[in-house]
């Protein structure tokens, strides 16, 4: 489904990001994997013989992102896909948040996606070539979160998705994926009462896995999704009907 595509993926070294990388490679894409964790990136690089390029990038640092795209434009000028997946969840109630923690969540979860979208969009618009952006939001951005700062950051991603869809048309499609709880390391930090609230709303009694999320991302990156832009795809087992 993704032959002749070259896709940048942030937060690529573990969890959902790693699964997206592997499925993109399986579908014939070349992948540029970005993460702040150099050790996990090396493990990812060693796990496949397919066309995978790895870069250590802190998505929250504008200067690093700018330098990254300067290098990408020289080495990989034919990029046509971006998955803004990098994000953190601190599992903290708003009254306990320290200012530096608030900044960290917003810098990674929101500014990181803004910086990557800015430079990716500028590159493709200058060339007048077609491309796709997929942003990773969350059910928390639509229904609220026990971690209010995380919920606010994921709600911001939905607004960014719609606005970029308008700004980058007609060349770049921009969509968001909003999963419910996914079985990754992050899930262990969600309060039990909140997990049960989610589970009690589900109409489909099967957990959402990283593989499920990656399959949706693959669809949105592919030509099969050519008529979708500015949309949000819920992966919540029917837990919240809109």
What is the pTM for the complete model shown? 0.93
Is the preceding omega at residue 136 within 30 degrees of 0, hence cis?
Answer: no
Dump pLDDT digits (tens) for 89-140. Answer: 999 999 999 999 999 999 999 999 999 999 999 999 999 999 999 999 999 9
Are 225 and 219 in contact by the 8 Å Cβ rule? The answer is yes
pLDDT at 192: 75
Q: How far is 82 from 228, CA to CA, in rounded Å?
A: 15
Dump pLDDT digits (tens) for 46-78. Answer: 999 999 999 999 999 999 999 999 999 999 999
150 given a catalytic annotation: yes
User: Strand, helix or coil at 205?
Assistant: coil
Share above pLDDT 90 across residues of the chain, in percent, rounded to a whole number: 81
Model confidence at 242, in pLDDT bands (50, 70, 90)? low
Catalytic residue, from 150, 171, 228, 240: name it.
150
Strands (E) in 27-184, as ranges, are 30-35, 52-56, 81-84, 131-136, 172-179
């Amino acid at each position: 489904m993704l032959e002749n595509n070259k896709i940048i993926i942030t937060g690529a070294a573990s969890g959902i990001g790693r699964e997206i990388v592997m499925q993109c490679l399986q579908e014939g894409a070349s992948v540029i994997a970005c993460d702040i964790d150099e050790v996990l990136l090396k493990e990812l690089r060693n796990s496949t013989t397919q066309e995978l390029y790895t870069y250590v990038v802190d998505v929250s640092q504008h200067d690093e992102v700018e330098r990254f795209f300067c290098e990408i434009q020289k080495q990989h000028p034919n990029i046509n896909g971006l998955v803004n997946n990098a994000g953190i969840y601190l599992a903290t109630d708003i009254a306990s948040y320290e200012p530096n923690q608030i900044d960290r969540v917003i810098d990674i979860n929101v500014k990181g996606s803004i910086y990557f979208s800015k430079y990716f969009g500028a590159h493709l618009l200058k060339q007048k070539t077609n491309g796709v952006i997929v942003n990773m939001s969350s059910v928390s951005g639509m229904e609220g979160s026990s971690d209010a700062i995380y919920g606010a950051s994921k709600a911001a991603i939905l607004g960014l998705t719609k606005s970029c869809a308008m700004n980058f048309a007609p060349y770049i499609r921009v969509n968001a994926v909003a999963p419910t709880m996914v079985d990754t390391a992050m899930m262990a930090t969600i309060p039990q009462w909140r997990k049960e609230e989610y589970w009690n709303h589900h109409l489909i009694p099967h957990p959402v896995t990283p593989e499920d999320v990656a399959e949706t991302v693959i669809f949105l990156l592919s030509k099969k999704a050519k008529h979708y832009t500015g949309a949000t795809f819920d992966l919540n087992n029917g837990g919240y009907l809109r």
